[in-house]
Amino acid sequence: MRAMSTPSSRSGSPEHRTVAERGRVGFAPADGAGSGGATATAAPSVEGAEQLDDQIAAGLLPTRDKRGHKGSFGKLLVIAGSLDYAGAALLVCRAAGRAGAGLVTLAIPESLQPLFAAKVVEATTMALPEDDVEEIDPEPAMARILDHDHDAIVVGPGLRPGLSTAELVRLLLAAGEDGGAAPVVLDAEALRSLAAEEGWWEGDRRPSVLTPHTGEFARLRAGSGREPEADGDISGDDVARATAARDAATTWGQVVVLKGAKTVVAAPDGRLAVAPFENPALASGGTGDVLSGTIGSLLAQRLAPYDAARLGVYLHGLAGDAVRERLGDAGLLASDLPEPIALARKRLAAIAERRASGSRLGFVARLPGGTSGAGEPTAPGDAAPTPPAERSESPS
Amino acid sequence: MRAMSTPSSRSGSPEHRTVAERGRVGFAPADGAGSGGATATAAPSVEGAEQLDDQIAAGLLPTRDKRGHKGSFGKLLVIAGSLDYAGAALLVCRAAGRAGAGLVTLAIPESLQPLFAAKVVEATTMALPEDDVEEIDPEPAMARILDHDHDAIVVGPGLRPGLSTAELVRLLLAAGEDGGAAPVVLDAEALRSLAAEEGWWEGDRRPSVLTPHTGEFARLRAGSGREPEADGDISGDDVARATAARDAATTWGQVVVLKGAKTVVAAPDGRLAVAPFENPALASGGTGDVLSGTIGSLLAQRLAPYDAARLGVYLHGLAGDAVRERLGDAGLLASDLPEPIALARKRLAAIAERRASGSRLGFVARLPGGTSGAGEPTAPGDAAPTPPAERSESPS
Amino acid sequence: MRAMSTPSSRSGSPEHRTVAERGRVGFAPADGAGSGGATATAAPSVEGAEQLDDQIAAGLLPTRDKRGHKGSFGKLLVIAGSLDYAGAALLVCRAAGRAGAGLVTLAIPESLQPLFAAKVVEATTMALPEDDVEEIDPEPAMARILDHDHDAIVVGPGLRPGLSTAELVRLLLAAGEDGGAAPVVLDAEALRSLAAEEGWWEGDRRPSVLTPHTGEFARLRAGSGREPEADGDISGDDVARATAARDAATTWGQVVVLKGAKTVVAAPDGRLAVAPFENPALASGGTGDVLSGTIGSLLAQRLAPYDAARLGVYLHGLAGDAVRERLGDAGLLASDLPEPIALARKRLAAIAERRASGSRLGFVARLPGGTSGAGEPTAPGDAAPTPPAERSESPS
Amino acid sequence: MRAMSTPSSRSGSPEHRTVAERGRVGFAPADGAGSGGATATAAPSVEGAEQLDDQIAAGLLPTRDKRGHKGSFGKLLVIAGSLDYAGAALLVCRAAGRAGAGLVTLAIPESLQPLFAAKVVEATTMALPEDDVEEIDPEPAMARILDHDHDAIVVGPGLRPGLSTAELVRLLLAAGEDGGAAPVVLDAEALRSLAAEEGWWEGDRRPSVLTPHTGEFARLRAGSGREPEADGDISGDDVARATAARDAATTWGQVVVLKGAKTVVAAPDGRLAVAPFENPALASGGTGDVLSGTIGSLLAQRLAPYDAARLGVYLHGLAGDAVRERLGDAGLLASDLPEPIALARKRLAAIAERRASGSRLGFVARLPGGTSGAGEPTAPGDAAPTPPAERSESPS
């Protein structure tokens, strides 16, 4: 694996520039500073949208206690995979490990356990009770899940479509009612289940991150009584994407990651962040599973949902750029991504450390909204790394 | 994996030259330009044969929308594999992914699904109904295939010989009668099935690419009432190879890829292309499966059959040369090839981009039939990359 | 894999230093030489504790007969793995091979054998009789184990919790009563079994190495009638860790490896060694399995338990540092470790060879307790490599 | 994988020298030239023993037709593997592919086929009839084997011990009586079967290569009525090893490879060759399977048994040296070897090509017995590469 020194995402120009060099593209900065809006693509701006960059992402990294043990770095439960979509589960688990989770457990229907055991060597497996072959029995399955010790959950990638999956997702989401349940990433089949359930977002729900691609997003919106057409072109129009994602996050009261070129992350309180990556190499089967594993891993490491989503999207994008550097615009396989995710995290950690050293040594800190150098983007929250306590809103 | 800067195929001379340097060898160029015919091997020429090279192949590359999603880059259905020939299916799937398909689904007999699930992590699997263990039930299998959403199909590698396979191939090919079915690559056991079926090429058929090696080709010819001897030495005589392939393509109304040293690609309209590669390292089990996966992947990416066949053959050849650079003339395993296929595509994309930049900047474009420089071959179709709409003849 | 020239473990200082440069940190040297105690962390010292470093570890390496065969380099039996914890068994086996064992056999319940066969290509498998699915029948299982030819055993990683596992561990440990049984590494589920068994350490027992993490250690101590609180903070306080480990080793009459940051190795005779590594990257699932496989491999290579434990801990730490150099503080997967373990051993072998060459050529040998250069630590036992006969106390 | 420019096997001296530099060590050259006998180790000489080196091995390489297809490069049938020893089969197959065979088929008991299918992606599998679970039914199994199209066979690695294996080996060996059967490598369990069968070598037998380690050799000798003690120290005494191997080859009328440090290859006509490699890293489980796969691959490529054995042993030794360069004296896993075997073959092919170019250009060819330069060893047969027809004594 090559070093990750020059991640790049060509945005309308043939030469490669690093993400940091590109700065905020296509969105006016929240504080009005900079001239990011006047780029080559001249995209219209969305008020208050934060353009993710190395500095912001580095500020989100969970601190890593030198003397921590595998429990301190987060236990993730992954509910994913079926006979038809077996690889999805493995990709989630592997990505979760590479993104730094201490322990990963894959829960699968009992009859499939031998298929998955030892496929991701570092993950353990857990059988979920079935009422038919490969068909989860939702209530006892839920009981076993609640019995298991974990800090976060990913549910959905590669799950078998059907009523029992839908019921399990419903039970899982509701299990947050007492306010103490672990946060959850809802992806793929879990999202399709929600789209068919009226008012799924009402009442107390686990803190969640939803990670739809545009098709899943449109279905979810339709399920919420919103005509998909009213959202405009959520594939190609960056403003439409951001506006729709923000509206959805507000409606559902959950963090929404609208995937695609320039992935949007929206929080229930209206905060909005946009990733700079446009990478056709990432448009292949399984890359979404890697993303949900990454976000789940960061949730398990005690990041708040909005932070886990932003950092997860950014690490995933950097990793995709690294693979694209090596293989080009086509031919990336999703299993190429997990290792570069660890390398991307290492790169951000080095940035965070340099910044922290600067602060300690009395250098002028880069302040939010200030202009601290050669056109480097700044943004609300782009200061010295916030200590975990300050940014944690996760109940786990 | 080493960089692919010096792919080489020693053609009758001990020193390594790049494919581009070698230019057109052994065949008179279509336009009469150049002196390619007077090479060291002094092979006799075949009228109208195009010698594939970097420039031509680069011109065939499908464009890659920066904002595409996994659906836009093609969905390939692979019908391949059995207990005896299990690896073939995996090689097809992996190659298809590395050649740029967005989604790959492997269809196998129901009882074998657990064997294949999660073996190629990025591919999904689909069970085909059986009427006996490992024996496909052709009609319901066909129904399930038609139900599946895909842009192209590969059928044949590693399939279990027998009547049910033959029947499935027959049904599949006929499914093109309404003119709207996805194109298909016919390989290995599918070809053996056709060889036993009289007049298989008559009537409306799906647009197809047949990829026989010389043994399979001879059997197919015999099945078409042609004495194999009448074709001459289709292993060693380049003119006999080209002539026979063109005749077959015309007779069958399909694109024919006659594999071997200097693989020939023939279109039903008489067009003929020859690849420059003679690589004994490629003469090992499974390399053909990689080729059919590559061509199928390009079909799924909306290339016309003749273009997908030419580009697939060329990428496969470049990848083989890259492995040979590293491992020598022997000892290549077919699973070495998929990753270099992505690298080969990246290399061609860089060539295409340089050419496109030149055009944009007002440089003199290399015109078809023109002589634009240091003996570089040109050919009909070797202009700036044709936009997909112009070269698509695929009904899907 | 990058060269291992600069392994490093940042101990309270931002710049990386090699292990050798760091020398003895936080513990007073046994011979009173050096000023290791006055480091940045200013940890209090524990009397007689040896700080492991390259020189000491190199001195422990088993000699490797140039003409040895696979039998001469040790046969290890691994009793590990279950359906829920399948990967653990594979990690033990792979680490054992990379640490130099000649032959590795994995014993698993009969019904699971097909799951594990060929997963670690170089290891053979052995079925243990069951009285229920995946439930070992302890007595016939023990008979089959005694029938098998091996030099050491690892038992515990990933074993299914339950009475039959506990009974097997009990039988196994007692099988040393005649004084001729192979030494054993007790890890994970084996330790949990012991914690529930009163007086397990009484009577003649196989020479053993116990490898608890702090949670397992506390449970074992409680099972020995020691209030865990009385041991103090065995996660964060280095003196408490060392004191508790020494006390436990003395009580149980076995070598104890108390894992965590700065792993402690304690011998029944009061000897104590501390590893310098604090590496958060190692705090992830499966790294403990790699450690027990490494120690078991060294036991099989005829190292005495205390030596195998010290060298195993050190090799594992160096390997962890090498992976951290590449991937950073997070995202290490346990399967990253085995190959760097072989590289770490190679590095130590080069140190041992240089020292041996120096001796042979008449250079002044570095003597125990002497000061031979730029602050390099010395210690009892840190002389020329002891021939195996001298340090072997293993009965096998 | 690093380049293989400096393979080395330290023979009694600490600095590394290439095999070519070392020349003939410890054995008087056949033609009396050179002073190889007077080396540091001062080993006594065995009359007529050829010390294998790069030049000799390069001269044995099968030529590789630039336009060959997978059939022309040899079809190998591998009869190997069981549930207990599953990895052995995979190692044989993988090594055979890396050593250049065009097609590899693994034959295993029917009930185990799902376990092995797709484990070596490039190999196909073939079910052998059973009369009990995992128990081959010898006669129908033999019928199926004779039905299969192959150029050579490897039988033995990882086979289940027992009467049915012994009977299959007996039938297989006898199948050469009509003089037209493919040659066979007999290894591991096949050798143990022969050791129990009186006079197995009598009558017409398939041309075979036996590859015993010293333990298997002693058992075979005992089965031939030779007291093992009478052979002397066949592990440590090079003269005893060579003498015993030559005597055995003469008695049995087959090529014998006596494995260990300085592996000996003996032909039935008294020819004797010794490999220079002493590599403790190779003393680990599975390396013998890689050797039998390599020799079988070369037999399938039409080398005569004595040539296949010599070249196979040499390639295996070079590959072992390459891995040792990287990982040191310990920690090699057998699966590290196959790829370096291809690299070793590439290196030898370059030597052969340089020599052939020299001849073509009119340079003085290095003649057998002549002295052509800086102490480079020569030997009978060490001329320009013999064309295959001249050296083929294989009946297939």
Residues of D within 8 A of B322 (CB-CB) are: none
Which pLDDT does position A41 carry in this prediction?
Answer: 40
Q: pLDDT tier at A264 (50, 70, 90 boundaries)?
A: very high
**Tokens for C5?**
């020239």
Number of neighbouring beta carbons within 10 Å of residue D364: 9
Of residues A177 and C109, the one with the higher pLDDT is: C109
pLDDT of residue A71: 79
Q: Is the pLDDT of residue A321 over 70?
A: yes
Confidence of residue B14 (pLDDT cuts 50, 70, 90): very low
pLDDT in tens, B333-347: 999 999 999 999 999
pLDDT at D279 over 80: yes
Collect all residues of chain A within an 8 Å Cβ-Cβ radius of residue C284: 70, 73, 97, 101-103, 122
Chain A residues touching residue C278 (CB < 8 angstroms): 66-67
- For residue C182, what is the DSSP state? P
Q: Chains contacting A with at least 3 CB pairs below 8 Å?
A: B, C
Minimal Cβ distance to D86: which of C103, C118, C345: C118
- Looking at residue A382, its pLDDT comes to 33
**Residue C321: is its pLDDT beyond 80?**
yes
Q: What is the CA radius of gyration of chain B?
A: 20
Question: In whole angstroms, what is the distance from residue A46 CA to residue A241 CA?
Answer: 10
pLDDT at A228 (0 to 100):
82
Is the dihedral angle over the CA atoms D339, C338, D85, D214 positive or is it negative? positive
Highest mean pLDDT among B175-184, C9-18, C202-211: C202-211
A-B C-beta contacts closer than 8 Å: 114
| Mean pLDDT within C225-251 | 94
Query: Can you give the pLDDT at residue C228?
Result: 82
CB contact under 8 A, D65 and B280: yes
For residues C6 and A124, the model is more confident at A124
Contact C346 D328 (CB under 8 A): yes
- Structure confidence at residue C45 as a pLDDT band (50, 70, 90): low
Mutate to test the interface with D, among B329, B332, B337, B339 (most CBs of D within 10 A): B329
Q: Do B343 and A330 touch (CB under 8 A)?
A: no
Q: Do C331 and A100 touch (CB under 8 A)?
A: yes
| Chains A–C, number of C-beta pairs less than 8 Å apart | 114
Task: Please list, in sequence order, all residues whose beta carbon lies within 8 angstroms of the beta carbon of residue B289, skipping any fewer than 6 positions away.
Answer: B80, B87, B88, B89, B91, B92, B95, B157, B158, B187, B188, B334
pLDDT tens for D43-91 read 446 778 999 999 999 999 998 888 888 778 899 999 999 999 999 999 9
Does the pLDDT at position D20 exceed 50? no
Percent of chain A with pLDDT over 90: 69
pLDDT class of B379 with cuts at 50, 70, 90? very low
- Tell me if C64 and D261 make a contact (CB, 8 A cut-off): no
**For an interface test with C, which of D83, D94, D216, D235 has the most C Cβ atoms less than 10 Å from its Cβ?**
D83
pLDDT at D47: 79
pLDDT digit string, tens, across residues B39-57: 334 344 677 899 999 999 9
Whether residue D41 is predicted with pLDDT greater than 80 in this model: the reply is no
A abuts D (3+ Cβ pairs < 8 Å)? no
* Mean pLDDT over the full length of chain B: 83
pLDDT band (50, 70, 90) for residue A362: low
- Which string of b and e fits D42-70 if b means at least 16 CB within 10 Å? ebebbebbbbbbbbbbbbbbbbbbeebbb
Mean pLDDT value across chain D: 83
Q: What is the pLDDT of residue C66?
A: 82
Confidence of residue C27 (pLDDT cuts 50, 70, 90): very low
Helix (H, G, I), strand (E, B) or coil at D175: coil
The CA radius of gyration of chain A, in Å to the nearest whole number, is 20
Mind listing the pLDDT tens digit for each residue in A39-62?
334 344 677 899 999 999 999 999
Overall average pLDDT of the A196-212 stretch: 94
Rg of chain D, C-alpha, whole Å: 20
Residue A172 pLDDT more than 60?
yes
In terms of C-beta density within 10 A (0-12 exposed, 13-18 middle, 19 or more buried), how is residue D5 classed? exposed
pLDDT of residue A381: 34
The answer, yes or no, to whether residue B294 has pLDDT greater than 50, is yes
Question: Which of the residue ranges A182-186, D31-35, D234-238 has the most confident prediction, judged by mean pLDDT?
Answer: A182-186
Query: How confident is the model at residue A154, as a pLDDT?
Result: 98
Question: What does the block give as tokens for A66?
Answer: 């030198």
Using a threshold of 3 CB pairs under 8 A, tell whether chains B and C touch. no
Q: Do B72 and A287 touch (CB under 8 A)?
A: no
Predicted confidence (pLDDT) at residue B314 exceeds the cutoff of 90: yes
- Going by C-alpha positions, the residue among A234, A233, A173 that lies closest to residue A202 is A173
Span D319-324, average pLDDT: 98
* B64 closest CB neighbour out of A87, A327, A330: A330
From the list A314, A378, A372, A323, the residue with the least C-alpha distance to A347 is A314
- What is the pTM assigned to this prediction? 0.85
Separation CA C21–CA D211 (nearest Å)? 49
pLDDT of residue C361: 65
What does pLDDT average to over chain A? 83
What are the chain D neighbours of C114 within 8 Å (beta carbons)?
Answer: 83, 115
pLDDT 10s digits, C347-379: 999 999 999 888 766 554 443 433 333 333 333
Q: Name every residue in A having a CB less than 8 A away from some CB of C.
A: 64-70, 72-73, 94, 97-104, 113-114, 117-118, 120-127, 339, 341-343, 345-346, 349, 353, 357
Q: How far is B325 from chain D (nearest CA, A)?
A: 10
Which among D327, D336, D339 is the top mutation candidate for probing chain C, defined by the most C β-carbons within 10 Å of its own β-carbon? Answer: D327
Q: What's the pLDDT score for residue D176?
A: 65
Cβ contacts (< 8 Å) between C123 and chain D: which residues? 87, 285
**pLDDT (average), residues C142-158:** 96
- Which chain B residues touch D if contact means CB-CB below 8 Å? 10, 14, 83-87, 89-91, 115-116, 119, 213-214, 235-236, 260-261, 278, 280, 283-287, 327-335
For residue D331, the distance in angstroms to the closest alpha carbon of chain B comes to 24
Question: How high is the pLDDT of residue C35?
Answer: 34
Can you give the pLDDT at residue B47?
A: 79
CB pairs < 8 Å spanning C and D = 114
**Contacts A85 to B, Cβ<8 Å:** 124
The string of pLDDT tens digits covering residues D322-342 is 999 999 999 999 999 999 999
Q: How far is C294 from chain D (nearest CA, A)?
A: 11
Mean pLDDT to the nearest integer, B14-36: 33
**N-to-C CA span, chain B:** 35
pLDDT at D271 over 80: yes
**Is the confidence at residue B29, as pLDDT, over 80?**
no
Q: D356 to chain B: nearest residue by CA?
A: B14
Residue C240: its pLDDT value, please? 96
Q: For residue A215, name the pLDDT band (cuts at 50, 70, 90).
A: very high
Q: What is the predicted pLDDT for the residue at A13?
A: 36
More confident: B380 or C326: C326
The beta strand positions in D5-149, using DSSP E, are 49-51, 75-79, 103-109, 124-128, 130-132, 135-136
pLDDT at D179: 55
Report pLDDT for D19. 35
pLDDT of residue A16: 36
Q: Kindly report which listed range (A149-163, B225-239, D147-161) carries the lowest average pLDDT score.
A: B225-239
* Residue B175 pLDDT class (50, 70, 90 cuts): confident
Distance CA B3, CA B13 (A): 23
Do B169 and B188 meet the contact criterion of CB atoms below 8 Å apart?
Answer: no
Say yes or no for a CB contact (<8 Å) between C328 and A349.
yes
Give B208's strand partners: B184
> Across the interface, do A102 and C236 touch by the CB < 8 Å criterion?
no
CA distance B55 to B38: 21
**What local confidence, expressed as pLDDT, does residue D37 receive?**
31
Burial class of C132 by CB neighbour count within 10 A (0 to 12, 13 to 18, 19+): exposed
Mean pLDDT of D121-145: 95
Mutation for testing the B interface, residue in A329, A335, A336, A339 having most B CBs under 10 Å = A329
Residues from chain A that touch C334, judged by Cβ atoms under 8 A, are: 121-122
When mean pLDDT is compared across A304-318, C22-36, D190-204, the lowest value belongs to: C22-36
Is residue C168 within a helix (H) or strand (E), and if so which, with residue range?
helix C163-174
